[in-house]
Structure 1
Amino acid sequence: MVAAKAKIPARTVPDHVVVDGSNLATEGRSAPSLKQLNDAVLAFMKEYPKTQITVVVDASFGHRIDKKEAAEFSEAIANGELVTPPAGAVGRGDGFVLMIADKVNATVLSNDSYQEFHDQYTWLFDMGRLLGGKPVPHVGWVFVDRLPVRAKTDSVARRGVPNKTAPIPRPTRPPQRAVPKPDTAPKPEVAPSAVNSAEQYDAFAAKQPVGAKVKGTVESFASHGVYVRIGDVAGYLPLRLMKSPPPRTPREHVK
């Protein structure tokens, strides 16, 4: 008698997903990549076209990505396509992601287990409230249902705790003097370089006043808009300016 294989239940389509952008941007990497985050969000939007998406990155994200992506990141923040937690937020980026998901009863897309928040947000262990994602070579991004990895048990945490009944050990050598650390001045932040030169911008602005219609060629798509080339000038068209209401993806409006 051959036992029947257990069927994997069909995944429900979430109404709203909060993306832990900092987590997906560093999946398989030592430093975050805005391009990798864009690829992940676009792949998720293609797989779940009816799901509302909110992308959250931590406050230091813009300082850790490649300098070439700094201008694109600033535009995404200015246009509301990426959200960062307010300064001094308790729990920082992770806490902000879970706070948003808790408020709107959303699903979280992240490979993190949020162990320090298990007691506060018990719904993390409800099926369908946590998704994971990973880029697979020659396949693309694959998204799966997840359950958080629980923190290690009490017995593990007790390892190395001294026996209270044992005598206090006496030091065999005098304590070492603390060596003061040298003061290190913070490195000055490098402002992102402009995409267009001042001469290119002035010439374009003189010929094309605000509100004028122009034709451009799409160079690349992002989850929050498209990058276009208008003659020798590089431009950007965010989702919110394409039409009202904004399209879900740039490809729905721009060819």
Structure 2
Amino acid sequence: MKAVTTGRIHSWDLSTGVDGPGTRFVLFVSGCSLRCLYCANPDTWHMRDGRETTVDEVMAEIEKYRAFIATAGGGVTITGGEPLLQPAFTGEVLRRCKEAGLHTSLDTSGFLGARATDELLADTDLVLLDIKAFDVGAYRKLTGGRLAPTLNFATRLDRLGVPVWIRYVLVPGWTDDPRSVGALAGFVAGLETVERVDVLPFHKLGAPKYKALGIPFPLKDTPTPEPELVERVRDQFRGQGLKVY
């Protein structure tokens, strides 16, 4: 009898334009190794808080929308939390989606990129790679993790020819240093499979979740970035010949 692959998920949703091309079925898995100060989904941090489910159950849910998302030029995105904290579950969902003819996207920080097998990445049409900061010290303070695994994963994706969208959250006083942004833009420009860069202004939409969980929101006093700052950072990426959204 074939073993049943299970995973723990937080929820799923439908989205357009922000989690990959077209309209997408977005699966939020539970569990994350990082603790980003600006995290909008603290309710996905712990695997124990997720609902255990099987790949078959996930695919049955996706099947309800398969015709719609395929017609809309979309697909399936696995996000979290951190999908690579559950690589077997994530990998099988990606494989089954590919077999169903659906475009697949993996949204990851890359911190656990070493857990992604070449087979998993072969079933991934697009990686949404969140590079939280490019300064080693700032990355540690902002996330609690190390920057090197993410950069190693980025170069591996480039070597394997996997298309990538870079995501960079712009947080005033944390990720807006011109030198650091310029260095990141130069690094990204050297990756041939990067198709675009999304500069995402920091927001506080997740603040109510922190209150509901009874934990402090670390950046509650940090302002959202002014439009001029957002445009300056976007221009730094454009200056390296990158497509920016």
Shared fold (TM-score greater than 0.5)?
no
Instruction: Tell me the TM-score normalized by structure 1.
Output: 0.25
Normalized per residue, which structure has more helix? 2
Instruction: Tell me the TM-score normalized by structure 2.
Output: 0.26
Normalized per residue, which structure has more strand? 2
Considering only CA atoms, is the larger Rg found in Structure 1 or Structure 2?
1
